[in-house]
Structure 1
Amino acid sequence: MNKPNRHNNHILETESNKFFNFKVPNEWYVDKPEHDYGVDYVVNIVTNNHVTGLSFSVQMKSKIKEKNSNFAVISLKRSTLGLFNTKLEPVFLVAYVQEEKEAYWSWYNELEFDLTSSQKTYTVNIPKTNKLSQIDWNPISKYVQEIFGVKMLVEGIKNLEYDEISNSQILAWKYYFSQDYEKSIFYFKNLLKEKPNDIAVLEGLAQSQYKTFHYKEAINNINKTINLSGTPNQHLTKACILAEDGMQNGIKGKIIEAKNLFKEFLNKDNTQFIFHYNYANTLSRLRYTKEAIYHFELCLKLNPNFEQAWKNLGQVYFDTKEHEKELSCYNKALIINPLLPQALFSKGVTLSRIYNKDEEGLSLMLKAVGNDENMLLEYQYTYFGIAYAYQKLENIKEALNWVNKGLDHYSEDKVYLDFKSNLLINNWKENEWLIDEALRFFEFRLELENDYKSLYSILLIKQLKDKEPIFNLIKKHTSIFRETSFESIKACDLDISDGIIFLLHYDKYLDFRNSHSIYRYSMHLISELYLVSTEFWEILDFIFAKSFSNAITQYFKDTDFNVITETILEDLIISTRSIKVMFPNTDFLQEDAIKIMAQIYSEFPTIIIREFGAQTGTINSVLGIDKTVTKPEFSEEWFEKLNEDSFIEMNKKLKLLKDN
């Protein structure tokens, strides 16, 4: 009966694993990852029975014999090396040679590779002088401490003596190294109660608070360490906190302060890639794009495997609209680290927004947040990017779902608020299930910031048949109709429901009115015989606001600049109705009434023509339309009607002539 044979490769693998595990100190413990993606073991360092939280990864390679007398030569995939670059802990490379009954070791962190090249595999020469059988594990432990100190920006880590520190200190650093920052904050704070000036603990606390976005506390504690010690590393930490706080919360002053600190480091040493990287990040946020590109390129010249620098350089190219270069940078970042969430997401945004590859772009964005849920909190507009892609794919439910998630975190952010407003405005009519949510949202936004478009949407959705409630809402939420009664609106024969379109661009109209006050027309109507009522100016303001907003709305529908003048002229022709409430008193002597009639007949059309010119000029400027192409013109027929209607309305008030 034939029995199964065990393959030589399996025997070799078992032999090499036993050799390595036998050499690891008994006090330390070895974990084997559930999935082998380039890491065979994670070795956890234990000192005096205390788990330190320090660890290093191990990549094992085995071979039967080695021809080279000075090196054990092994081959590693580019994807594996890319994974090593992403790890906090250092990576320990081990090559076991069966014929020699020996393993040789080297730190990956001390080797140099260009992972952006087209190579799929890389050769590594591990010196045979580094025999695993003769290794001293104490320097290994110290090396790991130093790497953690450098990567986590806490110099005190290098000097921790585990034989001398307390259990509470060991726990604090253990949670810090495992990146469980909430727990490390708790233990660091307790330690400071006993020793408030422990510099290493203060640094660890500041870094933990920085990683958990508690920037104010982080700055406070790093400032304490600077007052006590003032090492360059502490100033670098402060600059990083200021930069991150400024970028996350849009505080330009902090970004400028961080930029200046990073520049000081560069002036002292321009050979450190991380100094160029930090400086470039602040430059790009301050829109110094040429300088930012220059320093990102210097950074990548010094360290071509820094995937985050490739990603951030791509972001600068997005800002400069050089999208081919942008995608090239993202692709290089993803060659180094195929799972880099920021590069996946940014590439997805550009594919969707710029190249209209919405399905592919959305897939990358969802993959990014699936790989790193923290992205949703670290980057304010992650939810927006996904919602926008779903909207382009006409998946309204998912678009609404993602924008609502964004508003859960950023309830007053204008980008999210405007996106949801536009999503609901454009879709509630065709989707009955949206109506209730739309009404709730617009009422919320109206209460939040007195948003005029929200008021417009509420009035549109409710479709109020009674005009007085519409009037009352407009009076409550705008500066129009402060002194005007609903009876005066009816007297002027104005359709208040038709006029609500003024709310769509009322914010722009208010800006226009600030520079073109409606009362500048009062000189045309000054008279000793009457006093112009406030109601007249407010009703005229309402008519003007409608023509202004309606012109912009109609332009956006078909982008025909001629529609601007046509719409304004059509709306302004009814402005003569405001004459009905120009002044309350009509008991004039005939001679005085004739003077009033002559003045209004002459001056009121002048007011309307001046307003027409002001509105067309301003709207053309706001929309970026060449004024030479859109000369404001009105027909003789329109002008005659304006004069005729002015005369008729004045005669109705003054009753100088019979109606016929």
Structure 2
Amino acid sequence: MNKPNRHNNHILETESNKFFNFQVPNEWYIDKPEHDYGIDYVVNIVTNNQVTGLSFSVQLKSKIKETKDDFAVVSLKHSTLGLFNTKLEPVLLVAYIQEEKEAYWCWYNELEFDLTSSQKSYSINIPKANKLSQIDWGKISKYVQDIFSVKMLVDGIKSLEYEEISNSQILAWKYYFSQDFEKSSFYFKNLLVENPNDIAILEGLAQSQYNTFHYKEAINNINKAIELSGTSNQYLTKACILAEDGMQNGIKGKIIEAKNIFKEFINQDNTQFIYHYNYANTLSRLGYNEEAITHFELCLKLNPNFEQAWKNLGQVYFDIKEHEKELNCYDKALRINPHLPQALFSKGVTLSRIFNKSEEGLSLMLKAVGNVENILLEYQYTYFGIAYAYEKLGNIKEALNWINKGLEHYSEDIIYLNFKSNLLIENWKDNEWLIDEALRFFEFRLELENDYKSLYSILLIKQLKDEKQIFDLIQKHTSIFKETSFESIKDCEIDLSESIVFLLHYDRYLDFRNSHSIYRYSDHLISELFVVSIEFWEILDFIFAKSFSNAITQYFKSEDSAVITQTILNEFGIAAKVIKMIFPETDFPQEEAIEIMAHICAEFPKIIIREFGAQAGMITGSFGIDKPETETELSEEWFGKLHEQSLIEMNRKLKLLKED
């Protein structure tokens, strides 16, 4: 009866595993990852029966024989090397040769590859001089310690003597190395009570606080360390904390301070890729894009496998609108690390927003979020990017769902608030299920920041027809009508329900008014015979606000610059109605009444013409459109009609001429 035979490859694998395990110190312990994606073992370093938290990964390859005399040659996939590149701990490459009953080793960290290429696999020569049976595990432990020190920017890690430090210190560093920074902060703080001048602990605490976003405390502790020793790593840590704090919280001064420190490091040594990387990040955040590109390129020349630098360089190209170069950078980052969430997300945003490939872009963004859920909080506008893509795909429910998630974390962020406002404004009419949420949101935003578009939307959704109610709301939430009565509005024959469009761009109008005060026209109406009423200026201001906002609204609909001037002229048609509000008195002697009528009928049209020119110029200028020749827009017919209306309204006030 035939029995199953064990394949030679299985025998070889078992033999190589036994050989490796036999060489590792008994005190140390070995973990076998649940899934083998390029890492066979994680070796944990133990000293005096204390787990240090220091570890290194192992990739174990086995061969029956090796034809080379000086090297054991193994092949590794591009994706495997990309994985090694992302790990904090160093990776030990081990090749077991069955015929020689020996294994050979080298550190991946000391090899050089260009992982941005399309090459699928790489041959690696492991020196046969490095026999695993003769390895000095003490030197291995020291090497791992040094790597952790360099990557975690803590000089004190190099000099830790585990035989001499306390169990509490070992525990603190264990949590620190495993990147459980909340726990390491707790233990470091307790240790500082006993020894407040321990530099290594100050460094570890500062880094732990930096990684948990407690920037103020982190700066305080790294400054204490600097006062005690002032090493390069401490200054580098300080600059990193300042830069991250400044970028996360929009504090420009801290970014500038960090930039200046990073520049000093480059001046001292321009061969360190990380110096150029840090400097480039601050330059890009300060808007020095060309200089940032130069230093990202210098960084990548020194270390072409630094995926985060490729991603950040892509972001600079996004900022300067060179999107083909941007995508090329993301693709290189993803060749090195196909799961890099920041590159996946940024590429998705650009595909959706710039190249109108929303389905593909959304897929990448959701993949990024699925890989690292914390990315949603790490970058403020991840929710926005996903919501934007869903909106472009016509999925209003998912767009609203994601923007609401963003508002849960950033409840007063203007970008999130505006996105939801626009989403609701554009869709509530066609989606009855949106109406209640739209009303709640607009009422919330009106209370939050007195948002004018929200007031407009509330009036529109509620379809208010009661002019007095509309007047009261406008009076309450805008600077218009502070001294004006509802009766005066009715006297000027203004339909408020048809005029609420002024709220759509009232914020822009207020900016315009700040530089073009309504009272700059007062010189036209100054007279010894009367005082111009506040009501006149407020109602005229309202008419001007409506014309300004409606001109912008109509331009957005048509994208025809001619509609701007035409809309303003049409809206000014009612302006003459406000003449009756210039002054309340009517009992002027006839001679004075004639003088007043002549004065106002001559000057009021000049106010309208000046305002027309100012509004047309401001609006077209803000959209980069050629400023119209206002003189050619004002036809004799329009000008004559304005004069006629001014005369009629003034006569209704003063009753000098008999009306037909």
TM-score band w.r.t. shorter chain: over 0.9
Residue identity matched to 1:168: S
Preserved contact between residue 562 and residue 630 of structure 1 (Cα < 8 Å): no
Q: What does 1:477-556 align with in structure 2 at a 5 Å threshold?
A: 477-556=477-556
For 2:608, the equivalent position in structure 1 comes to 608
Letter of the aligned partner of 1:539 in structure 2? I
Question: Structure 2 matches for 1:86-125, cutoff 5 A?
Answer: 86-125=86-125
TM-superposed deviation, 1:380? 1.4
Distance 2:310 2:28 in 1: 38
* Structure 1 counterpart of 2:403: 403
* Residue pair 2:613, 2:630 contacting (<8 A) in 1 also: no
Aligned 8 A contact 1:78 1:122 in 2: yes
**Residue 352 of structure 1 aligns with which residue?**
352
Structure 1 residues 630 and 40: alpha-carbon distance in aligned structure 2, compared to 1, 3 A threshold = farther
**Counterpart of 1:235 in structure 2: which amino acid?**
Y
Measure how far apart 1:629 and its partner are.
6.8
Aligned-partner residue type, residue 232 of structure 2: P
- Do the aligned residues in 2 keep the contact of 1:76 with 1:121 (CA within 8 Å)? yes
Partner residue, 2:295: 295
CA distance in 1, matches of 2:394, 2:68: 62
| Residues 645 and 165 (structure 1), Cα distance of their counterparts in 2 relative to 1, 3 Å cut | same
Contact 1:72 1:125 in 2 (8 A): yes
The residue correspondences of 1:120-519 to structure 2 (distance < 5 A) are 120-519=120-519
SS in 2 for 1:597: helix
1:649 is matched with 649
Q: Is the 8 A contact 1:146 1:158 kept in 2?
A: yes
> 1:591-614 deviations in whole A, cap 9, x for unaligned?
222222222222212221221122
Q: Per-residue displacement from partner, 1:443-476 (whole Å, max 9, x unpaired)? A: 2222222221111112111211211121111111
CA drift at 1:640: 2.2
CA distance in 2, matches of 1:163, 1:631: 90
Offset from partner CA, 1:198-252 (integer Å, 9 cap, x none): 1111111111111111111111111111111100000000111111111222221
Percent identity of equivalent pairs: 82
Deviations 1:265-291 (A, max 9, x none): 111111111111111111111222221
Give 2:350's aligned amino acid: T
**Once structures 1 and 2 are overlaid, which stretch shifts more, 234-243 or 366-375?**
366-375
Give the alignment of 1:69-80 within 5 angstroms: 69-80=69-80
* Deviation for aligned residue 1:630: 6.9
8 Å CA contact 1:613–1:632 kept in 2: the answer is no
- Summarize the Cα distance change of 1:631–1:233 in structure 2 as closer, same or farther, 3 Å threshold: farther
Work out the CA distance in 2 between the residues paired with 1:193 and 1:436: 56
Secondary structure, in 3 states, of the residue corresponding to 2:59?
A: strand
> How far apart, in 2, do the equivalents of 1:224 and 1:402 lie?
43
Output one character per residue of 1:331-384: Cα deviation in whole Å (capped at 9) or x when no partner: 111111111111111111111111111111111111111111221122111111
The whole-number CA distance in structure 2 between the counterparts of 1:19 and 1:389 is 53
- How far has the Cα of 1:190 moved from its partner? 1.2
Contact 1:202 1:225 survives alignment (8 Å): yes
5+ unaligned residues in a row in structure 1: which ranges? Answer: none
| CA distance in structure 1 between the aligned counterparts of 2:630 and 2:405, rounded to whole angstroms | 44
- 1:571 aligns with 571
Q: Give the TM-score, by structure 1 length.
A: 0.98
Q: Which amino acid aligns with 1:17?
A: N
Letter in 2 for 1:442: F
SS in 2 for 1:124: strand
Q: Does 1:59 align with 2:55?
A: no
- Note the C-alpha offset of 1:632: 5.3
Partner of 1:597: 597
Q: Deviations over 1:116-170 (max 9, x none)?
A: 2232111111111221122221111111111111111111111111112222211
Question: Aligned AA for 2:321?
Answer: K
Structure-2 change in CA distance of 1:405 and 1:632 (3 Å): farther
| TM-superposed deviation, 1:631 | 5.9
Equivalent-residue separation in structure 1 for 2:97 and 2:549 (angstroms): 81
CA distance in 1 between partners of 2:316 and 2:605 (Å):
53
Contact 1:550–1:567 (CA<8 Å) still a contact in 2? yes
Distance in 2 between residues matched to 1:271 and 1:287, nearest whole Å: 24
The one-letter code of the counterpart of 2:446 is L
Q: Is the 8 A contact 2:33 2:40 kept in 1?
A: yes
Following TM superposition, by how much is the alpha carbon of 1:426 offset from its aligned partner in structure 2, in angstroms?
Answer: 0.9
Q: Letter of the aligned partner of 1:179 in structure 2?
A: Q
Q: 1:632 to 1:285 in 2, by over 3 A?
A: farther
- Is contact 1:565-1:632 (8 Å) kept? no
Preserved contact between residue 219 and residue 238 of structure 1 (Cα < 8 Å):
yes
Matches of 2:405 and 2:108, distance apart in 1: 41
1:50 is displaced (CA, Å) by 1.3
2:230 counterpart SS class:
coil
* Residue identity matched to 1:73: V
Unaligned runs of 5+ in 2: none
SS at match of 1:159: coil
Q: Which amino acid aligns with 2:464?
A: L
SS in 1 for 2:34: coil
- Counterpart CA distance in 2 for 1:394 and 1:197 is 60
CA contact (8 A) 1:12 1:64 kept: yes
Counterpart residue type for residue 648 of structure 2: I
Q: Matched residue pairs, number? A: 660
Amino acid in the other structure paired with 1:566: Q
Q: Match for residue 49 of structure 1?
A: 49
**Residue 628 of structure 1, CA deviation:** 5.2
**Preserved CA contact (<8 Å) 2:616 2:628:** no
8 Å Cα contact 1:192/1:201 also seen in 2: yes
Name the SS for the 1:16 alignment partner: helix
Q: Aligned letter for 1:637?
A: E
Q: Give secondary structure in 1 for the equivalent of 2:496.
A: coil
In 1, the alpha carbon distance for the partners of 2:342 and 2:631 equals 49
The one-letter amino acid of 1:8's match is N
The one-letter code of the counterpart of 1:230 is G
Structure-1 separation of matches of 2:48 and 2:126: 32
CA distance in 1 between counterparts of 2:656 and 2:498 reads 33
Q: Assess if the C-alpha contact under 8 Å between 2:540 and 2:578 holds in 1.
A: yes
1:354 and 1:72 mapped to 2: Cα distance?
Answer: 49
Q: Could you say if the C-alpha distance between residues 406 and 30 of structure 1 is closer, same or farther in structure 2, counting changes exceeding 3 Å?
A: same
Deviation at 1:527, TM superposition (A): 2.0
TM-score, with structure 2 as normaliser = 0.98
Q: Contact 2:314/2:326 (CA < 8 Å) preserved in 1?
A: yes
Q: In terms of mean alpha carbon deviation, does 386-395 or 518-527 score higher?
A: 518-527
Tell me, in whole angstroms, the C-alpha distance in 2 between the residues paired with 1:196 and 1:439.
Answer: 57
After the TM superposition, which of the residue ranges 620-629 and 169-178 deviates more from structure 2?
A: 620-629
The answer to which of 438-447 and 360-369 deviates more is 438-447
Looking at structure 2, the residues matched to 315 and 631 of structure 1 have their Cα atoms a distance apart, in angstroms, of 46
The aligned amino acid for 1:38 is: G
Q: Deviations over 1:528-573 (max 9, x none)?
A: 2222111111001100110111111111110111111111111111
Match for 1:270: what amino acid?
A: N
Checking the alignment, whether the CA contact within 8 Å between 1:274 and 1:299 is kept in structure 2 is: yes
Alignment-derived partner of residue 620 in structure 1: 620
**Larger deviation: 82-91 or 321-330?**
321-330
